[in-house]
Structure 1
Amino acid sequence: MNPIDQAGMALPATPASLATEYRALALMYTAQGLPTGLAFHALGTLMRQGGHGVAEVGLVGLAFLPWALKFLWAAPVDNACARWGHARVVGVTQALAVLACLALIALPPSQGLHATLAAVLALNTLAATQDIATNAYAVARLQGRSAGPANAIQVAGFIAGMLVGGGGLLMVVDRWGWQAAMGGMAALMLALYLPLALYLPLALDTRWASASPNRAAPGGGDRPPPARLRDLRRHSDLAWALMLALVFKFASTAVETLAQPWLVDRGLSLSQIGLLQTLKLLATAAGGVLLGIALVRRLGNRRAVAFSCALATALLGTTWAMELLDVRNLPLLCLAFGMESVAAGAMYVAIWALFMNWASPERPGTDYTAMQCCESLANAAAAGAIGSLGASQGYGWAFAAAWAAGLAVLLLIWAALPRIRLQQDAPR
């Protein structure tokens, strides 16, 4: 999407301005990925290593709740961004996130599990709130042909944050302890905001974008119409979009959650698991950037989603096969998880490029965030269910059940795609 002038006419985007917007996006998504990596890629391993049971690992699903419920406060954040600017909203949430990281120094999971979970939940609530502002910024400015690169940046930025907050944090904990890891995360959150404080105001102040001439820039003469959650009903295909967002990552989240205690029970050390998590995240980023963008550009949104979801589902059975064959060799584990992660990264870029082009420019943060919440709600359910299933039936049956669920999900995705209407489908 290009910016508009006061008459509502599109203005050309320049490579320099796009580069500024892409840098701002990368920094925001990286900052939001740090708490996500802690919650989803490190905490389960640390809980198991600290003596907690496999069933208790399912409590990690609580950290999904802010990401699942942020639609409840998405419209107020959307309106705050329109009134005061994205830079201020992002700055406040970033400062509070730094304080939350400092509070976690005194709350190692091996001592007070519930207190640690509460603090991680608060940290992820702040990250989820900032994500609403980031979504509004991305959708309002980068719909259309820029959606593929923008969502590749989202995936790569989030993964960079999860890499450090997940596998990287495990390696730091293993060598220097929990306190050093949390202090380092606080410092990194602050360091990420310093360049963001330059890039984000520059992009917003010089090139405010909106698809509607009625939605004025912050500080402009006309106050924009408020975003409202109930206006989601204006989408005639809302039921299909909600279903797609709910199901597409359910099975892969179940496998990823159960894989954390499974790797501990394979006999891997924290450093080895951290290395594996790092390689998985790098493979996911590579799949998103190298394969996901190419699929969206060559196949279009819908066919890119259909193909990438089929590939990711086919490789989802990798973990079940490794359990069946009793694979314990670290290089083989890295290769198997790496292949699975490349496909997952491509799927993620294709899915979120589709939802970016589906979201209404009148409610950029609200529409896009609502779809993300559906994914997170399903993630929470998957994480909670797979822990109980793994504890009662064993790893083999649990991984097999997750793969079977993935095959059923693929059929639902194929049914939904022809019924999803994108903004470029609308008559001009």
Structure 2
Amino acid sequence: MASTTKRRLSLTAILTDGRIALMLPLGFSSGLPFLLVFSTLSTWLREAGISLTIIGLMSWVGLAYSFKFLWAPIVDRYDVPVLARVLGRRRGWMALAQFGVMAGLVGMAVTGPQVSIPLTIISAVMIAFFSATQDVVIDGWRIDAAPTERQGMMAASLQLGYRLALLCAGAGALYIAELVNWPAAYLSMAALMGVGLVGTLLAPRIDEVRVRKNPPFAQAIIEPLADLFQRKRKMLIPILALIACYRLPDFMAGIMANPLYIDLGFSKADIANISKLYGVWIGIIGAFAGGLALTRLGLWWSLLIGAAIAAGSNVMFSWLAAGNATLTGLTLTISIDNFAQGFAGAALVAYMSGLTSPGFAATQYALLSSLYALPGKLIGGASGAVVDAYGYPVLFTGTAALGIPLVILCLIVRRDTLETVRQKEEAEAQEASAPMAAGSRA
């Protein structure tokens, strides 16, 4: 217990951890391609006179992000020829994915919708595929590189880099396209991918010891799933239920938040300034607060607090709709909600990271992260029907009430969570002492 307390209170060591700083460029590289195959690309396509039908179909390239777990076992268990010998398995895949995104962005700039729509689609698919692959390998490296109690800060640092990249790929690309042209915008974004490549080269090479050797492909798919079932057994059911429902209040409420603002009479400028600019930074502060809570309170308490405040914060939307539709009310609502969502997001990332095993980290995390987003996307589609039938207060009060079963699930998994953290800490301590023991024998 003493060693655990010491690790949790070592705040200075965590804040000066170079691995946390490295998540900034890696998060930037992860976030940069996202808008370039979605809203930014849609703007270019529409400006080029492409039909709305084709623009809508182009959004399907985003399925790569939802189904990345299908090829995550390859990232986990196989080496990239040449690059793996130079950089190691994880960093080799990072570099390959980043070069792939760069090539897709250059291809988009060279072709573009004015030249060839089929080639533009191929470039977009290429960008999305390698971007999703990069997310898989960055998550795998992050989990292998740092212990569970530091995963919250790692995730918060990654989110900061990710949000900065969204500003570049969104507003930045539009400014360049306006001042120069669209090909220049996409070439500039390809050059900015070099930020992530620098992060890859600076990242410690940690996977040679912890990642298993190349197995047969079928084994590479089955083993990560079998490992989860073997370790968790019946407890896996409430664990998966908690992960699937943890962000459900956020997904359901988030879809109806902007329509609520419009219906309450807020202008687009008010929404942009308070929700899209100010709110983003409050969310980042919340993510760092969640990361700090993990170091001070531990994983389970952070998970419990995140579940309670993230769901409970939705009451603020009901309060806003109940005669408090002022700029002050909007600011207060977005402040509480975004802080709570950032906090909960950091806690969930750390929890899912702690459930993975060395050598299976990328595959297992890709599966778990796909699970947490899926129910919200499916059930969230019914949120509009609820508002039409019963009004905004009923929807947001109902999503806040989801915090009750979430807290119960947190209580159910408490013992397993504490045991998982203890086992990981013991394994990390043994791994750290192994080189010292070998040196003393020498």
Specify if TM > 0.5: yes
The question of 1:283 aligning with 2:276 is answered no
Q: Does 1:337 align with 2:331?
A: no
Identity %: 19
1:193 deviation in Å? 3.1
Amino acid at match of 1:268: K
Contact persistence 2:320–2:329 (CA under 8 A): no
Unmatched segments (≥5 aa) in structure 1: 1-14, 217-222
Aligned CA distance change for structure 1 residues 251 and 45 (closer, same or farther; 3 Å): farther
Specify which structure has the bigger relative contact order, considering alpha-carbon pairs within 8 angstroms and separated by 6 or more residues: 1
Partners of 1:178 and 1:321 in 2: CA distance: 44
Change (3 A) 1:424 1:259: closer
- 2:396 is aligned to 403
| 2:304 paired residue number | 306
Structure 1 residue 336: deviation in Å?
3.1
- What is residue 199 of structure 1 aligned with on the other side? 202
The 5-angstrom pairing of residues 347-358 of structure 1 reads: 347-358=344-355
| 1:218-259 C-alpha deviation (Å, 9 max, x unpaired) | xxxxx3666434323223232222222222222313333444
CA change 1:319–1:171 in 2 (3 A) is farther
- Measured in 1, the distance between the counterparts of 2:25 and 2:108 equals 23
Equivalent residues in 2 for 1:305-324, closer than 5 Å: 305-322=303-320
1:278 Cα deviation from its structure 2 partner:
2.9
Q: Which residue is equivalent to 2:26?
A: 28
Contact 1:323–1:395 (Cα < 8 Å) also in 2: no
1:297 partner amino acid? T
Deviations 1:262-315 (A, max 9, x none): 66785425x9727742322211111111x2123222322112111122112222
Of residues 35, 58, 65, the one that matches 2:63 is 65
Secondary structure of the structure 1 residue equivalent to 2:268: coil
Q: Could you tell me whether the CA contact under 8 Å between 1:23 and 1:199 is conserved in 2?
A: no
Note closer, same or farther for the CA distance 1:29–1:40 as it changes in structure 2 (3 Å cut).
same
1:188 — aligned with what? 192
* Counterpart Cα distance in 2 of 1:301 and 1:62: 36
Query: What's the C-alpha RMSD, in Å, of the aligned pairs?
Result: 4.7
CA distance in 2, matches of 1:48, 1:251: 34
Equivalent position of 1:134 in the other structure: 138
Inter-partner Cα distance in structure 2 for 1:256 and 1:118: 32
Residues in 2 aligned to 1:175 and 1:394: alpha-carbon distance in whole angstroms? 42
User: SS where residue 358 of structure 2 aligns?
Assistant: coil
1-side partners of 2:258 and 2:179: how far apart? 19
Instruction: From 396, 409, 415, give the equivalent of 1:416.
Output: 409
1:130–1:357 distance in 2 versus 1, CA, 3 Å:
same
2:92 counterpart (88, 92, 96):
88
User: Contact between 2:318 and 2:393, CA under 8 Å: does it hold in 1?
Assistant: yes
From 203, 225, 238, give the equivalent of 1:230.
225
SS at the partner of 2:92? helix
Which residue matches 1:10?
A: none
- Select the structure of larger CA radius of gyration: 2
CA, structure 1 residues 181+131, in 2 after alignment: closer, same or farther (shift >3 Å)?
same
Q: Is the 8 A contact 1:296 1:350 kept in 2?
A: yes
CA distance in 1, matches of 2:28, 2:137: 14
Structure 2: which 5+ runs fail to align?
A: 1-12, 427-442
CA distance in 2 between counterparts of 1:89 and 1:117 reads 24
C-alpha distance in 2 between matches for 1:348 and 1:123: 26
Counterpart of 2:129 in structure 1 is 125
Please, what TM-score do these two structures have when normalized by structure 2? 0.70
**Which residue is equivalent to 1:293?**
291
Equivalences for residues 206-217 of structure 1 within 5 A: 207-208=206-207, 210=209, 215=211
Residue type of the alignment partner of 1:252: D
Aligned-residue offset at 1:348: 0.9
CA contact 2:150–2:295 (8 Å) conserved in 1: no
Counterpart secondary structure, 1:235 = helix
Number of positions where the alignment pairs a residue of Structure 1 with one of Structure 2: 391
**Cα pair distance change 1:149/1:235, threshold 3 Å:** same
Tell me the equivalent position of 1:371: 368
Matches within 5 A, 1:145-156: 145-156=149-160
Aligned-partner SS, 1:278: helix
Contact 2:321–2:393 (CA under 8 A) maintained in structure 1: no
Alpha-carbon distance in 2 for matches of 1:414, 1:371: 19
CA contact (8 A) 1:33 1:159 kept: yes
More moved, 416-425 vs 393-402: 393-402
Letter in 2 for 1:406: T
Give deviations 1:83-138, integer Å, cap 9, x for gaps: 65222211121122223334556768xxx9x9999976653432221111112211
Q: Report Cα offsets for 1:306-352 as digits up to 9, x if no partner.
A: 112211222224445545658474x7645532332111111111111
Question: CA separation of 1:151/1:393 partners in 2, compared to 1, >3 Å: closer, same or farther?
Answer: closer
Which structure shows the bigger proportion of residues in helix conformation? 2
1:235-250 map, 5 Å: 235-236=231-232, 237-250=235-248
